[in-house]
Amino acid sequence: MPTQRAVDPNPHPVPPPVLNPPVKLPRKAPVYAEETPTQLVRRARKMHKVLTETYPDAHCELDFTNPLELLVATILSAQTTDVTVNRVTPTLFAKYPTAQAYAEADREEMEAILKPTGFFRAKTNSLLKLGQALVDEYDGEVPGKLEELVKLPGTGRKTANVVLGNAFGVPGITVDTHFGRLVRRFGWTTEEDPVKVEHLIGALFPKKDWTMLSHRLIFHGRRRCHAKKPACGACPIAQWCPSFGTGPTDPELAAKLVKVPV
């Protein structure tokens, strides 16, 4: 807070002492322990509004042109980065353009392509089974319903919501590592179970916002709100975050932690 100069009620000819320049005191993390459900909704929506302004270009960072490509890319994104997946998928998509192609793929050839993504044997197994399941049950097409998607090999609720929200325009909340970490850090929930997190956070926002909410939180998690050392002093929603101070609060130090995607 800025230092205010005291007014001397008895002026005298002696010049006043020179005050030290104002010192920016470290802010304290806001406390929301007694927050009502209504207050939580309002705070969460304020934070989302600012994130919307901060990340106007938020989007799915996996490259795809159709539901099958997005489904495959999301399965491959487990335990690796979207950047790595995007380096591999052009070759993969060119070689296997249909579900039938995945079903009939040579295991060793696919493993060689997927090796950079890690756990490539398990991922190859998932894609082979996925292709066969799509051919057998859905005429080679990716279904557009959650209850059908989650039955497919290698596809859980997180993957299903990514596909629904970004390939079919069906609102969904993607509870990945970043999303789960941030909603707990923001004090929106203390729940650890991804399915419960999905439902609890969904109740705070209009359904139409779910997909973009996921993208914006994931963007924020990758760029500022890092797991070990968040850039608190460069955070646009710090004033509403009970975890402020987890990382450096000095603006200059925090700014150095902000990551720009390559």
Do residues 160 and 172 make contact, with C-beta atoms less than 8 angstroms apart?
yes
In whole angstroms, give the CA distance from residue 201 to residue 243: 18
Residue with tokens 């100069």: 5
CA angle at 123 for the pair 117 and 129, rounded to the nearest 5°: 155
CA angle at 49 for the pair 257 and 157, rounded to the nearest 5°: 80
Q: Is 176 annotated in the active site?
A: yes
Q: Which of 46, 123, 158, 256 is catalytic?
A: 158
Q: Which of 49, 176, 196, 250 is catalytic?
A: 176
Q: Is 47 helix (H, G, I), strand (E, B) or coil?
A: helix
User: What DSSP assignment string belongs to 164-204?
Assistant: HHHHS--------HHHHHHHHHTTS-----HHHHHHHHHTT
Q: Look at the alpha carbons of 161, 158, 247, 185 in this order and tell me if their dihedral is positive or negative.
A: positive
In whole angstroms, give the CA distance from residue 51 to residue 243: 17
Residue with tokens 């909410």: 213
Report, as residue numbers or ranges, the catalytic residues.
Answer: 158, 176
